[in-house]
Amino acid sequence: SEELQVAIDGPASAGKSTVAKLVAKKFKYVYCDTGAMYRAITLAAMQAKVALDDDAAVTNIAQATVITFKPGNRVQQVFIGQQDITQAIRKPEVTNNVSTVAAIKDVRTEMVKQQRVIASHGGIVMDGRDIGTTVLPNAQVKIFLVASAHERAVRRYNENIKKGIETPLVQLQKEIEIRDKKDSTRAVSPLKQAEDAVLVDTTSLSIDQVVKKISTIIMKIQ
Ligand code: C5P
């Protein structure tokens, strides 16, 4: 069987990473979370106290930062050099600033270059916003995962409660909508369904049902 490239794109909190991880495990593929890469650059820029609207300075950071992934027990760990940033990149300060950094053209050029290297041998499930449209336009499997903004906010709310964080549901929904708007309206590779992507609406589907749907698509092509 062939080692495919599987691209999973969609708006914030649609369940991309959960599903992508499970699909990767099932097919013994590598999972790459490209959102974590933009989050890592955002964190590095904030730690360096660089203004996030200073495109040239943020680009320098993107080009100088070495991001690596390590498979962990439960979550994939993310590093900048030796620094474990797995938790730090999920903090609200990073989440609410990442779309500004991800809109910088030369930051994207650098990330896309690294992502293509990671995906070059196939056997990869990559999730993000522009994987099917820009990073891997020839991916054999392209999924566009969506869910209603309300359902996505509820999922994020429940995840937060498990972690002991209590943010009001309305605030979470608002933050999700703001991020989606920034990501879909930026000039460089905005969030958009690729013409040849399969639309999967997960609003009323379980994780298991979504994984099965995507697995069926992969097995047909393999
Ligand atoms: O997937 P996640 O929500 O962690 O992504 C964080 C942010 O990174 C997105 O809101 C978007 O601004 C940016 N991103 C991107 N292109 C990707 C993946 C993420 O612009 N391929």
Does the annotation place 11 within a ligand binding site? yes
Residue 90, Cβ neighbours under 10 Å: how many? Answer: 16
Question: What confidence tens digit (pLDDT) does each residue in 26-54 have?
Answer: 999 999 999 999 999 999 999 999 999 99
In this structure, what DSSP letter does residue 11 have? Answer: S
Is residue 1 predicted with pLDDT exceeding 80?
A: no
| Spatial separation of the C-alpha atoms in residues 50 and 58, rounded to whole Å | 7
Q: Is 81 within any annotated ligand binding site? A: no
pLDDT, position 80: 97
Nearest partner of 40 among 10, 84, 9, 106, judged by Cα: 84
Structure tokens at 110: 């650098």
**210: enclosing H helix or E strand:** helix 207-221
Ligand 1 centroid to Cα of residue 183, in Å, is 8
Phi–psi pair at 35, nearest 5 degrees: -60, -35
CA-closest residue to ligand 1 atom 20: 102
The stretch 96-100 carries a mean pLDDT of 96
Q: Residue 193 in 3-state DSSP?
A: coil
The first and second tokens of residue 203, run together, are 């609003």
Residues 6+ apart with CB under 8 A from 4: 29, 122, 123, 139, 140, 141, 218, 221, 222
**Residue 30: other Cβ atoms inside 10 A:** 17
CA torsion sign for 89, 189, 104, 120 is positive
198 pLDDT more than 70: yes
pLDDT band at 168 (very low <50, low <70, confident <90, very high): very high
Pocket of ligand 1 (CB under 6 A): 12, 34-35, 38-39, 98-99, 102, 128-131, 179, 183
In the 8-state DSSP scheme, what is residue 190?
-
Taking all residues of the chain, what is their mean pLDDT, rounded to a whole number? 96
Return the residue whose CA atom lies nearest to atom 7 of ligand 1: 35
Three-state SS across 40-86? HHHHHHHHCCCCCCCHHHHHHHHHHCCEEEECCCCCCEEEECCEECC
Residue 73 reports pLDDT greater than 90: no
| Alpha carbon of 7 to ligand 1 centroid (Å) | 14
Q: What is the DSSP string of 92-157?
A: HHHHTTHHHHHT-HHHHHHHHHHHHHHHTTS-EEEEESSIIIII-TT-SEEEEEE--HHHHHHHHH
Longest CA–CA span in the chain (Å) reads: 49
- Rounded distance between C-alpha atoms, residue 31 and residue 79, angstroms: 15
Q: What per-residue confidence (pLDDT) applies to 170?
A: 97
Dump pLDDT digits (tens) for 111-164. 999 999 999 999 999 999 999 999 999 999 999 999 999 999 999 999 999 989
